[in-house]
Amino acid sequence: MKRPRTSYFVRQLQLRIYAKLAEQLKEFELTPAQYMVLSLSTGHVERSSADLARRAQMTPQSMNELTAPLFRKGFVKRRPHPEDSRVLLLSLTKDGQRLLARCDKLMDEVEEEIFGCLDHRNLTLLRASLSKILSNTRRAEGESVSQQRLVIRRTSAGSRNTATFISISPRPGRRGSIRSKSGFRSCRANP
């Protein structure tokens, strides 16, 4: 019998976390994506929608759709960039900061429920392994994470994985171009 792929387990866990978080956030009339926007907007740093979109790996249009209800509800504020009035900078309002703190407590509970079966050592190892894998994929072509889309597939040569990065990089006079390059080899986390 064929063993399930590691990516299957990662995806199943992500789906369970997302579903649990979506259920918990209903109390605040927020989606997990809106919670992510609030989390990315933490501190007193103002970020543009484009910057938030890059960090969340989504289009600026999708980010605008996510932030519009947060703006209407008074959780984020907008102001023109001092050097480019076409760019709007977003930051959390006091209400947004209070809401984020409450949502973070919920997320702590969700993580405790899901990862509570791991002792401190194993949870630390899991976090370090996931962080290492993410960092390795981000560095593979020297691009920022916002420019990378990672597809992992099994090679015909055996158990080694290869990955194809599809990068979207603007070129002069064009909205964007797509290029892809294979060659990333499997990453093994050091226990």
Q: Pick from 66, 77, 69, 68: which is nearest to 37 by CA?
A: 66
The predicted structure's pLDDT at residue 53: 87
Tell me the CATH number of domain 1-117, given options 3.40.50.720, 3.40.50.300, 1.10.10.10, 1.10.3720.10.
Answer: 1.10.10.10
pLDDT at 145: 42
Exposure b/e, 168-185, CB count within 10 A at least 16 = b: eeeeeeeeeeeeeeeebe
Domain boundaries, the chain: 1-117, 118-191
Range scoring the smallest mean pLDDT among 22-31, 84-93, 138-147: 138-147
> How would residue 172 be classed by pLDDT, with cut points 50, 70 and 90?
very low
Residue 94 has pLDDT above 90, yes or no: yes
Q: Residues 114-166: pLDDT tens digits?
A: 999 999 999 999 999 999 998 888 787 464 544 433 333 333 334 333 333 33
Q: What is the pLDDT of residue 81?
A: 86
Average pLDDT over residues 18-47: 89
- Residue 173's pLDDT is 36
Least confident of 2-6, 80-84, 92-96: 80-84
Closest CA to 160 of 185, 126, 128, 127: 185
Q: Are 14 and 36 in contact, with CB atoms under 8 Å apart?
A: no
Scanning the chain, the segments in alpha helix (DSSP H) are: 6-25, 32-40, 49-56, 60-72, 94-115, 120-139
**44 pLDDT more than 80:** no
Average pLDDT, the chain: 76
Q: Does residue 191 register a pLDDT over 60?
A: no
pLDDT average, residue stretch 85-103: 91
